[in-house]
Structure 1
Amino acid sequence: MRLRANPVVVAGVIGVGMPVLAAGVIAGLTVDDGGSGPDSTHAAASAKPTTAAATTAPDAKPVATTVADPEPVGFQPDSINFVSAGEGWVLGRSYPCPSGACQSLRHTTDGGHTWQQVSLPAPLREAGAHDGWLKFADARNGWIGVGNKLFSTHDGGTTWREADIETDALVNGWSLTVTDDSVHVASVQPGERTVLFTSPLSRDAWTGPTEIPVPGAGGPHPTADLKVAGSRAWMVVTNRGQEAARLVDGTWTPWKLPCGGNGPADWHALSEKRLVALCGRVGPYSDGGTTTRLMTSTDGGVTFTETGQLSPTLTADAALIAADATHLVAAVGERLLTSTDGGETWTVGYTAPDRNWRELSGEFVTETNGFVILARPGSTQLATTMLTTRDAGATWTPVVFD
Structure 2
Amino acid sequence: MKGAAVALAALLTMGVAGPALADPVTTFQVSSTSWTTKSRGWALGVDGKYSVLMRTVDGGASWKRTNTPAITPPTGDSRLRVHFANEIAGVITDGSRLFVTRTGGTTWNEVFLPTPTRVSFGAIASDTNSFLVLVSSPASTHLYRAPLAGSGAWSPVPGVVMTGAADGDIATSGWRSYVVLSRVHEETRYWVNGRLGWQEAKPPCDVSSTTKLGAADTLAFALCSWNPGMGYMFKELRAAKEGGEFTTVSQGPNEGITVDFAAASPSTVVVSAVGIGAGWLHRAVDGKWTTPFVQEGPPLFDLAFTDPFNGHVVRGGPQSEVAELYGTSDGGATWILIRV
Is 1:105 aligned with 2:53?
yes
Q: 1:390 to 1:199 in 2, by over 3 A?
A: closer
Q: 1:170 to 1:204 in 2, by over 3 A?
A: farther
More strand by percentage: 2
SS of the residue 1:144 aligns to = strand
The within-5 A match list for 1:222-241 is: 222-229=166-173, 233-241=177-185
Specify which of 119, 130, 138 is matched with residue 171 of structure 1. 119
Specify which of 235, 240, 244 is matched with residue 297 of structure 1. 240
Is 1:275 aligned with 2:220?
yes
Structure 1 runs not aligned, ≥5 long: 1-30, 35-72, 285-289
Would the aligned equivalents of 1:163 and 1:204 in 2 still touch at CA under 8 Å?
Answer: no
Is 1:384 aligned with 2:323?
yes
Compute the displacement of 1:108 (Å): 0.8
CA offset digits 1:85-123 (Å, max 9, x no partner): 2211111122x32xxxx21111111122222222324x2
Q: Which residue of 2 aligns with 1:195?
A: 142
SS of the residue 1:256 aligns to = coil
One-letter code of the match for 2:223? L
Q: Which residue of 2 aligns with 1:64?
A: none
Is 1:256 aligned with 2:203?
yes
Q: 1:238 to 1:375 in 2, by over 3 A?
A: farther
TM-score normalised over the length of structure 1 = 0.66
The within-5 A match list for 1:77-88 is: 77-88=30-41
Would the aligned equivalents of 2:170 and 2:213 in 1 still touch at CA under 8 Å?
Answer: no
Would the aligned equivalents of 1:186 and 1:224 in 2 still touch at CA under 8 Å?
Answer: yes
CA offset digits 1:264-290 (Å, max 9, x no partner): 442213244x22122233269xxxxx8
Is 1:132 aligned with 2:80?
yes
Q: 1:169 to 1:257 in 2, by over 3 A?
A: farther
Would the aligned equivalents of 1:335 and 1:350 in 2 still touch at CA under 8 Å?
Answer: yes
The within-5 A match list for 1:135-154 is: 135-154=83-102
Separation (CA, whole Å) in 1 of partners of 2:267 and 2:136 = 34
Rg larger for: 1
Q: Which residue of 2 aligns with 1:397?
A: 336
CA offset digits 1:207-229 (Å, max 9, x no partner): 4334425433x6xx423434445
Q: Which residue of 1 aligns with 2:65?
A: 117
One-letter code of the match for 1:87? R
Number of residue equivalences: 309
Compute the displacement of 1:330 (Å): 2.1
Q: Which residue of 2 aligns with 1:20?
A: none
One-letter code of the match for 1:202? A
One-letter code of the match for 1:263? S
Separation (CA, whole Å) in 2 of partners of 1:303 and 1:105 = 38
Q: 1:214 to 1:75 in 2, by over 3 A?
A: same
Is 1:310 aligned with 2:252?
yes
Q: 1:80 to 1:246 in 2, by over 3 A?
A: same
Separation (CA, whole Å) in 1 of partners of 2:234 and 2:112 = 45
Specify which of 124, 131, 134 is matched with residue 183 of structure 1. 131
Name the Cα RMSD after superposition.
3.4
Q: Which residue of 2 aligns with 1:331?
A: 272
Q: Which residue of 1 aligns with 2:308?
A: 367
Q: 1:132 to 1:170 in 2, by over 3 A?
A: farther
SS of the residue 1:204 aligns to = coil
Separation (CA, whole Å) in 2 of partners of 1:365 and 1:228 = 12
Identity of aligned residues (%): 23
Structure 2 runs not aligned, ≥5 long: 1-6, 11-25
SS of the residue 1:252 aligns to = strand
Q: 1:148 to 1:382 in 2, by over 3 A?
A: farther
Q: Which residue of 1 aligns with 2:13?
A: none
Separation (CA, whole Å) in 2 of partners of 1:170 and 1:182 = 24
Q: 1:239 to 1:204 in 2, by over 3 A?
A: farther
Q: Which residue of 2 aligns with 1:74?
A: 27
Separation (CA, whole Å) in 1 of partners of 2:148 and 2:200 = 27
Would the aligned equivalents of 2:169 and 2:211 in 1 still touch at CA under 8 Å?
Answer: no
CA offset digits 1:290-320 (Å, max 9, x no partner): 8423222235241312x23331x36422422
My pick for the range that moved more, 205-214 or 389-398, is: 205-214
Is 1:349 aligned with 2:292?
yes
Would the aligned equivalents of 1:169 and 1:187 in 2 still touch at CA under 8 Å?
Answer: no
Q: 1:321 to 1:251 in 2, by over 3 A?
A: closer
Q: 1:183 to 1:374 in 2, by over 3 A?
A: same
Compute the displacement of 1:325 (Å): 1.4
CA offset digits 1:327-350 (Å, max 9, x no partner): 3322232222233x33x2222212
CA offset digits 1:179-215 (Å, max 9, x no partner): 22222333244533x4343322123331433442543
Separation (CA, whole Å) in 2 of partners of 1:199 and 1:207 = 5
Q: 1:328 to 1:135 in 2, by over 3 A?
A: same
One-letter code of the match for 1:74? T
